[in-house]
Amino acid sequence: MKHSSILLAFCLAILAMSCASAPSPTPPSTPPPAPSAKTDIWPKIYNDETYLTTFASAWSADEALGVIKNLQNSIVDFSANLPLSELNVDPYGMRARWSWIENGSFQKSAGFIVPYDQITSMLLEHYPAIDKDYKWGLLIYITGASPVSIRAPTREVAERLGKAIFVLAKARNANVSVPNARFGAALSALSEAQAQAAGILKTGGIIVSWVFKESPAEKAGFSPQDIITGVEGKPVMKGDDLFAAIDAAATAGAKEIKIAGIRRSYRTEGKTHVEIFVPLTFTLAIDQTGEAK
Amino acid sequence: MNSKRCILSVVMGFLVLFAAFSQGADPKTVTPAWVMEKQFEQQQAGQSADATKATNAFNVFFIGYDYPTLSGALADDLASWSGPINFSLGMESGTGAGSSMLTGIEVELFVTINDAGSRLFMHDMAMIGYSFDLAPFRFNLGGRVGLSMFDVMGPVSYTGIGLVFGPEASLYFAVDPAFWLWIRGRYSMASYMSLDSGGPIGKGNDSLNCVSLEAGLAFKI
């Protein structure tokens, strides 16, 4: 029985070692706590890209009408992603419809109307993440109505449509706002909560809502949520102060202008991320051919 | 002299502060918070996915009854020692949630104690293979290699130790996400050397083949 005892002890020892060294997937280590998103007070970050354009063209109203009619087969509504079955265009507006079959036999239809004299602004959009072929688009803001979003297969088609609509809107005396071509970022007034979070006095100030692609602001390094506090050593109270300073510098023949700002960021301390606000100086190149509004 | 030093220190301090704060940082050197927040979210999503993958991986402890059928040179010598106390236990771990590579360990233990004496027979084996996720089933194919030992205490006492290897296939059925029923079949070949001068191994009967049919329970770990 001596051998059996030895063997049994040996078996148990090997079993114990086997169990101890058994491969098992180890759960990943606990991730460091991520900072809570401060989107409640800071401008929303959009996934789509807005390109800087003033939709300027030398087309007449008749030419613009022709351009829109010629684009009927190249544009779709943003959400339906269906070709337009009907497009009615005249000097007063643009009316479109599209239809589809639901549940095998029910024909449904929907549409949009763009009254030219009610247009307040237009944006050239790109939706890189969208799972459709029509990744370019035009977002048309209309007084008292939801924006109309039209998508196109290429930037050229979207831009042509925008230029044509802009010509017709101008012909109808619409007060269409276009981006400042010498800057190229959408600005909002700095709220008290934002000023308090950044630790600055709420005596004015502006915050960048989004930055247009291919704009001087993008090239200068501006980012959404940047706070603009001064330009050329003078405080900025509102967007017009900034644009006036850029225009004055352009008139004076300056090639660039210094803009002071504050950027929200994070500093990593061990396993935690601490929100910080970093003073920045932006150097904005001035395009002498641009025009501020 | 002290007052001059104080004034100089204050002036120097102001100069340093002026140099530090008169010029803001280059925007290219400061990552915006929203960019970092997106990175944090992606990191957390990745870690959560890894955690889910690890949680859902096939990772079980099993125990079951083993029915061995012996053949080969040593089979006749061990035939009189067959008995009902045969069991196997071990662990198997997949590398992913779906079909994936599989590793495992297993101990087969056959114990016989009767009036003639006793026999202990054991296979300690490691396994590598592939697990096919055929929910609610899992079909595993692989091969095992390991150590085989037996010890006979009877009219003729001898002990053998050797190498065992062979292919196997097993089928698991998930009764519950944490509980499985399984069956396994394995053919193993072993070759022994003797730790004692007597016995059949010393006479050249040093090989043993074993067909193991197993069935039992498995628990998620």
A282 in reach of chain B (CB within 8 A):
yes
Q: Please, what are the domains in chain A?
A: 55-171 (2.30.29.30), 185-285 (2.30.42.10)
| Residues 137 through 176 of chain A touching chain B, CB cutoff 8 Å | none
A47 in reach of chain B (CB within 8 A):
no
pLDDT of residue A292: 44
- What is the number of structural domains in chain B? 2
- Asked whether residue B88 falls in the same domain as residue B35, the answer is no
A24 in reach of chain B (CB within 8 A):
yes
Residue ending a domain, among B52, B76, B92, is: B52
B114 in reach of chain A (CB within 8 A):
no
User: ∠B111-B117-B123 over CA atoms, to 5°?
Assistant: 25
pLDDT of residue B13: 43
B35 in reach of chain A (CB within 8 A):
yes
Q: B9: distance to nearest CA of chain A, Å?
A: 26
A28 in reach of chain B (CB within 8 A):
yes
Q: For A286, which DSSP code?
A: P
- Asked whether residue B24 falls in the same domain as residue B113, the answer is no
Per-residue pLDDT of chain B (221 residues; tens, 9 = 90+): 456 665 555 544 444 344 434 578 999 999 999 999 999 888 888 888 777 766 677 889 999 999 999 998 888 888 888 888 999 999 999 887 788 899 999 999 999 988 888 889 999 999 999 999 988 899 999 999 999 998 888 888 888 899 999 999 999 999 988 899 999 999 999 999 887 767 788 788 889 999 999 999 999 98
- Asked whether residue B136 falls in the same domain as residue B38, the answer is no
Q: A202: distance to nearest CA of chain B, Å?
A: 20
Residue ending a domain, among B52, B72, B87, is: B52
- Asked whether residue B34 falls in the same domain as residue B67, the answer is no
A91 in reach of chain B (CB within 8 A):
no
Residue ending a domain, among B34, B52, B70, is: B52
Contact present, A25 and B93 (Cβ < 8 Å): yes
User: What gap in Å lies between CA B77 and CA B75, rounded to an integer?
Assistant: 5
Q: Do A7 and B159 touch (CB under 8 A)?
A: yes
Q: A282: distance to nearest CA of chain B, Å?
A: 7
Of B38, B47, B122, the CB nearest to A28: B47
Q: B3: distance to nearest CA of chain A, Å?
A: 34
- Asked whether residue B92 falls in the same domain as residue B194, the answer is yes
- Asked whether residue B19 falls in the same domain as residue B87, the answer is no
- Asked whether residue B75 falls in the same domain as residue B92, the answer is yes
Chain B residues with CB under 8 Å of A265 CB are 30-33, 36
Return the structure tokens found at A245: 């300073």
Low-confidence ranges of chain A (pLDDT < 70): 1-39, 288-293
Query: Between the CA of residue B179 and those of B172, B216, B219, what are the distances in Å?
Result: 10, 11, 5
User: What gap in Å lies between CA B221 and CA B216, rounded to an integer?
Assistant: 16
Neighbours of B48 (CB within 10 A): 12
B149 in reach of chain A (CB within 8 A):
yes
| Residues 160 through 219 of chain B touching chain A, CB cutoff 8 Å | none
Q: B164: domain CATH number? A: 2.40.160.20
Of A28, A37, A221, the CB nearest to B27: A221
Q: What are phi and psi of A153, to 5 degrees?
A: -75, -25
- Least Cα distance to A182 among A114, A131, A245, A119 occurs for A245
B49 in reach of chain A (CB within 8 A):
no
Of B32, B35, B47, the CB nearest to A31: B47
Task: Compute CA A224 distance to the chain's CA centroid, rounded to the nearest angstrom.
Answer: 9
- Asked whether residue B91 falls in the same domain as residue B35, the answer is no
Answer yes or no: pTM beyond 0.80. no
Q: Is B177 left (phi over 0), alpha (psi -120 to 50) or beta?
A: alpha
Q: Do B43 and A35 touch (CB under 8 A)?
A: no
Query: Between the CA of residue B126 and those of A130, A184, A222, B133, what are the distances in Å?
Result: 49, 66, 59, 21
Is A19 buried (19+), middle (13-18) or exposed (0-12) by CB count in 10 A?
Answer: middle
pLDDT of residue A101: 86
Give the range of the structural domain holding residue B172, as residue numbers without chain letter.
59-220
Q: A214: distance to nearest CA of chain B, Å?
A: 16
- Asked whether residue B72 falls in the same domain as residue B164, the answer is yes
- Asked whether residue B110 falls in the same domain as residue B197, the answer is yes
pLDDT of residue A207: 95
Q: Is A214 left (phi over 0), alpha (psi -120 to 50) or beta?
A: left
- Asked whether residue B184 falls in the same domain as residue B111, the answer is yes
CB pairs < 8 Å spanning A and B: 134
Residues 6+ apart with CB under 8 A from A46: A210
Give me the DSSP letters along A130-152. -SSS--EEEEEEETTEEEEEEEE
- Asked whether residue B45 falls in the same domain as residue B117, the answer is no
B100 in reach of chain A (CB within 8 A):
no
A7 in reach of chain B (CB within 8 A):
yes
